[in-house]
Amino acid sequence: MQVKVINKSNNELPAYQTQSAAGLDLRANLDEPINLKPMQRMLVSTGLFMELPEGYEAQIRPRSGLAFKHGITVLNSPGTIDADYRGEIKILLVNLSDESFLIESGERVAQMVISKHEQIDWELVETLEDSKRSAGGFGSTG
């Protein structure tokens, strides 16, 4: 699938790091480093703008290495970028560790997965078909 992109950053375009990777690594595009303090959240610029085809979304997810090693994650994970959004892709990062973390320009800070989706039409009804799980909530399946 071809996706139109404008790259106003000093970084290369996001790329898959392995042949079977689902996510493209997104890099910070900064004028100066950001010192992300414990429990602080911040929008991190990427310098990227894109035009997704209708019926697709971009999901912004944490990078597992940053999350495990440094406690850095995407706060609204996964964040959704809709096909009709044309603004800059920004990453909402949060530092869940007890140490500050320095983000340099060009650092891989998140990953983006492109996913097909459907839209629904509601059908208002009075009852729903029963199922094996029924109304069982958290922990109800064992």
- Rounded CA-CA distance 51/84 in Å is 7
- Catalogue all structural domains in the chain, each as residue range(s) with its CATH number: 4-17+25-116 (2.70.40.10)
Annotated binding site: 63-65, 76, 80-82
Number of residues written out for the chain: 142
Neighbour tally for 137: CB within 10 Å: 7
Annotated binding site for substrate: 63-65, 76, 80-82
Instruction: Give 18's DSSP letter.
Output: S
Q: What is the pLDDT of residues 5-60, one digit of tens each?
A: 999 999 999 999 999 999 999 999 999 999 999 999 999 999 999 999 999 999 99
- Rounded CA-CA distance 138/68 in Å is 26
Q: Does pTM top 0.75 for this prediction?
A: yes
More confident residue, 137 or 9: 9
